A and B are shown apart, each in its own frame.
Chain A
């Protein structure tokens, strides 16, 4: 079993996975001993409502300013190649207000997702790329879903049997507070023109049980973090490009922890790794 910073989530809600029949045998269906409650096959008609609710979860998480993921992206870039894992609740346990927010179809009594983590397998065996973490922690504050996103990601990575994890995010993204909970991150890019936003970093880390437990909030585990050599301002695009040039020249850098805010500037702690 796993101890988290919010064990009530594990006690009060069930977990689901979306996977094709071909992929399903490759999932750890009881990560950290947490049994799977709902198994969703995206190739069957009966799954249609739940899959639409995942799109709604995505929209609710990222708000009107976010780019809601099209259904085809869910299908082609998540459900067919990889897994979607998260926490859900029986529709009958939702309040009227929550049913309205979700725009639930009348009479629907199946699971309703509260969080999801999407990752897809990479060419290198055991490597996964995470591309969506959504949770209703802020949407449903009365449910006290504190840390739901991080807990979902930690348990999902165990379910996916990830050995090496990759992600990409913007230097200005608050998501970096979550990603750095998994320990020191190896930087593969610091300036990424191939992404829609060049001020994007690509990071990776080796997945260990200790890191997953630490990220989930187990108070017994504290990850070691080296001291930074320098800081990068989240708006310093020249600095990002200079670091990228060094990476392309063979240098290695690590992001060693969450950003800090000093005099209105968001600073990221970095160190050379070579």
Chain B
């Protein structure tokens, strides 16, 4: 039922996994009930599959290069497939139109899988949360190369493939990805202004990524206005610094929905927690259900 609106994705894309055998054993091979075919599982320590892995790196570069966050090639091995794994969806090369094959640098004569989304997850020392540092869809760079909803489905299926309950991630305030993550539930901010990152206008957050969160994400639930305490201007760096100061002083703040955009203004809805009123977006606290691709 939850996946019915995503039928076009399911009809044209197949899940894939890049993982070493010890990692693979611990993952869910049928996230959201979508079986990952054995032929779509690649061991990064084997030579076979290296063309597909190069295509994954290329999609990552196309998605993150333009915002100055290219992944150095060695990082993919050292910081993705060795400690964790890569999940996503792919299409058969022959099913891609020629313009899409060119956009994705598919080699001439290649008939195998072509990645159209990427979800990279690695453990943290604390193990209480896993870190997701890449989430992208080919629709960001070549709109129409895959059906709408791919980004959202990749996040939902990725969190289940990795059996996540708690996720740690970073995102730029102006990125539409922030709203996508917020579909899982409140993004509890760890930083609002991050000089440790190349783009300080980056936030760091933790979010519960359990079955309820995935259902919310897939439905596209949005929080009603009564659940929003205030907004932050996604272009106001002074406001980010002020929010960072609040967080460092112990205030609990969460992003509770996608940005609202009017003209050139982008504002992100926030909720401020307290002992009396913890942060929540559970139904009954003002949820409206509205599908958003």
Does B154 touch A at the CB level, under 8 Å?
A: no
Asked if B77 contacts A192 (CB within 8 A), the reply is: yes
Interface centre among B85, B123, B196 (most CB of A within 10 A): B196
Asked if A121 contacts B123 (CB within 8 A), the reply is: yes
Asked if B53 contacts A131 (CB within 8 A), the reply is: no
Asked if A22 contacts B77 (CB within 8 A), the reply is: no
Which residues in B have their C-beta under 8 angstroms from that of A77? 75, 78-79, 122, 133
Does A79 touch B at the CB level, under 8 Å?
A: yes
Q: Which residues in chain B, 222-251, are within 8 Å of chain A measured between CB atoms?
A: 241, 244-245, 248
**Which residues of A are at the interface with B, using a C-beta cutoff of 8 A?**
19-20, 22-23, 25-27, 42-45, 47-48, 51-52, 67, 69-77, 79-83, 120-125, 129, 131, 160, 166, 168, 188-189, 191-197, 200, 202, 241, 244-245, 248
Asked if A75 contacts B194 (CB within 8 A), the reply is: yes
Does B140 touch A at the CB level, under 8 Å?
A: no
* 15 pairs of residues in contact across A and B, judged by CB atoms under 8 Å: A22-B126, A23-B124, A43-B190, A45-B245, A77-B78, A79-B196, A80-B168, A82-B125, A123-B26, A123-B84, A125-B127, A160-B125, A192-B45, A193-B47, A196-B72
A70-B198, A81-B131, A196-B74 as given contacts; A45 in contact with B193, CB under 8 Å: yes
Question: Contact partner of B44 among A27, A69, A194, CB < 8 A?
Answer: A194
Asked if A193 contacts B123 (CB within 8 A), the reply is: no
Closest partner residue, chain B, to A80 (CB atom): B131
Asked if B123 contacts A74 (CB within 8 A), the reply is: no
Does B73 touch A at the CB level, under 8 Å?
A: yes
Identify the 8 closest CB pairs spanning chains A and B, nearest first: A196-B73, A193-B50, A48-B195, A77-B79, A23-B125, A194-B44, A131-B78, A76-B133
Taken residue by residue from 90 to 125, chain B's Cβ proximity to chain A (1 for < 8 Å, 0 otherwise) reads as 000000000000000000000000000000001111
Closest partner residue, chain B, to A41 (CB atom): B248
Taken residue by residue from 112 to 152, chain B's Cβ proximity to chain A (1 for < 8 Å, 0 otherwise) reads as 00000000001111111101010000000000000000000
Asked if B45 contacts A194 (CB within 8 A), the reply is: yes
Does B271 touch A at the CB level, under 8 Å?
A: no
Closest partner residue, chain B, to A194 (CB atom): B44
Question: Contact partner of B126 among A23, A44, A67, CB < 8 A?
Answer: A23
Interface centre among A22, A70, A76 (most CB of B within 10 A): A76
Does B290 touch A at the CB level, under 8 Å?
A: no
Interface centre among B72, B82, B131 (most CB of A within 10 A): B82
| Bound-complex Cα distance A67 to B73 (A) | 11
Interface centre among A73, A168, A189 (most CB of B within 10 A): A73
Asked if A26 contacts B126 (CB within 8 A), the reply is: yes
Closest partner residue, chain A, to B48 (CB atom): A248
Question: Contact partner of B83 among A70, A75, A120, A241, CB < 8 A?
Answer: A120
| Bound-complex Cα distance A71 to B248 (A) | 21
| Bound-complex Cα distance A47 to B248 (A) | 12
| Bound-complex Cα distance A23 to B131 (A) | 12
Which residues in A have their C-beta under 8 angstroms from that of B3? none
| A25 → chain B closest CB, angstroms | 8
| A236 → chain B closest CB, angstroms | 17
Does B23 touch A at the CB level, under 8 Å?
A: yes
| Bound-complex Cα distance A82 to B168 (A) | 13
| B94 → chain A closest CB, angstroms | 24
Question: Contact partner of A73 among B79, B204, B248, CB < 8 A?
Answer: B79
Does B81 touch A at the CB level, under 8 Å?
A: yes
Does B191 touch A at the CB level, under 8 Å?
A: yes
| Bound-complex Cα distance A228 to B122 (A) | 36
Question: Contact partner of A44 among B79, B131, B248, CB < 8 A?
Answer: B248
Which residues in A have their C-beta under 8 angstroms from that of B248? 44-45
Does B284 touch A at the CB level, under 8 Å?
A: no
